[in-house]
Amino acid sequence: MILFKGGTFLMGSENGLPQEKPVHSVTVKSFKIDKTPVTVAQFRVFIESTNYKTEAEKFGDSGVFNLEIQNWELLPGAFWKKPFGPAGEDASDNYPVTHVTWNDAVKYASWAGKRLPTEAEWEYAARSGKNSQNKFSWGDKVTVNGKYFANTWQGKINSTDAKDGYLFTSPVGTFGENEAGLTDMGGNVWQWCADNYKAYPGSVVAIREDSNVKVIRGGSFFFDQNGEDSFSVSARSMNSHETSLFNTGFRCAVDAE
């Protein structure tokens, strides 16, 4: 885990999507956050130690985008161990675990003696614990001289041209660290945060707070209509607490004295 000393920073962006506005001052207490998203190997230890059954297993299916039919589907038998269903390969140990709901993530975090990060903590960490003006956790550009700094989608939704080397998820840490030492703080998998999804103070965006709808941060490997805005440090989206998808995972945090 990486330690962040408490501090005050400017959260949000005036240049991003409407739900990222307005920029506002937020103070966070000292905390630690996982260096990487929780991996398949780490999640397996939890499952084997507790016999926990994820919600995707209980429901019998989970969300996968089918590139052949160009549509989302609830794929029978898809879960954390088999991200593309029974006919697909097993998830690899050093990849981020996927097909976990917010509820699953909370259960894992509690078992590990941790918790989910708040949305503010996540953004503070993505900004390396300071008032960075960079659009992304690693800098201001998606690529430099052909080098990619995150696992993101290239092209249109029907494109299968994985210029960054990965069509789907990638091993954690593949694309390097931000200044604070964190990996995958943009792209690879969306990450659950503790908060209900709601409008920022002073926002003109109409968002009705619902305790069943939680914040996700960081964007993912998969196509997003908002393009590079989806994996910026200020990007924010949401999903219901019982939704599991092939491009959503999480990392944990703890309070630091």
| Both tokens assigned to 248 | 């959503």
pLDDT digits (tens, 9 = 90+) for 53-110: 999 999 999 999 999 999 999 999 999 999 999 999 999 999 999 999 999 999 999 9
- Rounded to an integer, the average pLDDT of 137-158 is 91
Domain ranges of the chain: 2-255
Would you give the DSSP letter of residue 191? E
Q: What integer pLDDT is reported at residue 158 of this predicted model?
A: 86
Distance of CA 232 to the CA centre of its chain: 11
Distance of CA 206 to the CA centre of its chain: 24
Whether 257 shows a pLDDT value over 80: the answer reads no
The string of DSSP letters for 57-118 reads: HHHTEEEEEETTTTEEEEEET-BTTBTT-TTSPPPPTTSBP-S--HHHHHHHHHHTT-BPPP
Q: What integer pLDDT is reported at residue 189 of this predicted model?
A: 98
Q: What integer pLDDT is reported at residue 159 of this predicted model?
A: 78
Whether 219 shows a pLDDT value over 80: the answer reads yes
Residue 161 pLDDT class (50, 70, 90 cuts): confident
The mean pLDDT of the chain is: 96
Whether 160 shows a pLDDT value over 90: the answer reads no
Residue 253 pLDDT class (50, 70, 90 cuts): very high
Structurally, at CATH architecture level, domain 2-255 sits in: Alpha-Beta Complex (3.90)
Give the contacts of 254 (CB within 8 A, at least 6 positions apart): 1, 31, 32, 113, 114, 115
Q: How far apart (Å, rounded) are the C-alpha atoms in residues 139 and 137?
A: 6
End-to-end CA distance of the chain: 14
